[in-house]
Amino acid sequence: MKTLDKKITYLLSAGLLAAAIMVLLYMDHNRTTYNYSLSILQRSAIYAVAAVAMNLLTGFTGLFSLGQAGFMAIGAYTVAILTIPVAQRPSVYYISGIAEPLAQATAPLWAALLLGGLFAALLGFFIGYPVLRLKSDYLAIATLGFSEIIRAFIAAPMLNRVTNGSYGLKSIPGFPSTLMVFLISGLCIFLMVLVIRSSYGRAFQAIREDEIAAESMGIGLFKHKQMAFVISCFFTGISGGMLAVFMRSIDSKTFQIGLTYDILLIVVLGGIGSITGSVLGSFLMTAGREWLRFFDNPLTIAGVQVPLFRTGFRMVIFSLILMAVVLYYRKGLMGTKEFSWNGIYAFLQRLGQKRSKTRPGKEGGNDE
């Protein structure tokens, strides 16, 4: 089959990007009408970064980690502590006060996000030494345990002057513009794609396929596993910092195990080993949860109240839809494939060929 010229694919990608920016600018200009939709898209973009980071570790390196919520908490609290205005900190730390070194410590948003990612990566580096020697379910259980330890440590009374304990942090400044969320998310995903396509990324995939064969080719197993784990923690920390800025207030309950399961569900739904799938799964899952909220409201038909329409019924419907999708798409929506214009072009070519075969031809069955 024919393929599209590279210049055409670049033009199509640029056109799609320009159209997306124009739609976002239009929605931002009419924020009173589209404020709810914008918040869904922003949360989806933030979760997409965490999902791609998890996919880098699980889908491309073969390491099953469940510590995402803990590393997101590290990034979130770092960004929150450094960006809360100094004048408002006494009202935030009104119980125990704030530690002296942090009372005047501030940083711009971009620097706070980088520091949040670096702190998460540093913690991942030290955690990686004991846990990366484990495999499969044992690695998942160990990282899940560390995630809960991090969350409990954040809420501990001994850190009240740093994290404000169980009272959480509020008055976090939001993003200065709507497009900044998508810009940061796109940049993070782009950097992870570069890592996956590099020689290190190919080493990660070799480890996923066969550790013995990879080691026989000279690939250091522990070194590359540690590298994948640290990179994943770094971008997970950045996504946590973005979530804190988006929510404007956080506490330790924000980063419970359920958050990790949500990220894992996005990865499985989109396709383990597909960057495009993780991004697509993030937007579909976040939007699906919100758009099904009408199931939580009572419904009356002809004066009779439908008993199933009540608080929580939305998640029942959402779970049934997810089960149907997973059963039909065993490897997720994208499997291990990525979005490409050539793939769409090939699909349209096959569709055209099928239509031409079903259409009666000049030399077809009208020769009576």
Claim: this prediction has a pTM higher than 0.85: yes
Highest mean pLDDT pick, 114-123, 211-220, 304-313 = 114-123
- Model confidence at 367: pLDDT above 80: no
Instruction: Count CA atoms closer than 13 A to 56's CA, side-chain side.
Output: 33
- Distance in angstroms (rounded) separating the CA atoms of residues 285 and 265: 9
Q: Which residues are registered as beta bridge partners of 304? A: 301
Average pLDDT over residues 352-363: 67
Which residues does 48 contact at the CB level (< 8 Å), separation at least 6? 185, 189, 266, 278, 279, 282, 283
Question: What is the predicted pLDDT for the residue at 8?
Answer: 85
CA dist 191 and 14 (Å) reads: 18
Range of the domain at 143: 10-342
Over residues 266-304, the pLDDT tens digits come to 999 898 989 999 999 999 888 888 887 777 776 666 666
- High-pLDDT (> 90) share of the chain, %: 44
**Number of folded domains that form the chain:** 1
In a domain, 366, yes or no: no
Contact indicator for 239, 266 with CB cutoff of 8 Å: no
317-345 per-position pLDDT tens digit: 878 888 888 788 878 888 888 888 777 87
Number of H helices, E strands in the chain: 16, 2
Question: Is 368 a residue whose pLDDT tops 50?
Answer: no
CATH number at residue 41: 1.10.3470
pLDDT band per the 50, 70, 90 thresholds, residue 305: low
In this structure, is residue 282 part of a structural domain?
A: yes
- The pLDDT tens digits for 223-247 are 999 999 999 999 999 999 999 999 9
Q: Do the domain assignments include residue 4?
A: no
In a domain, 127, yes or no: yes
Question: Within a domain: residue 105?
Answer: yes
d(CA 155, CA 162): 10
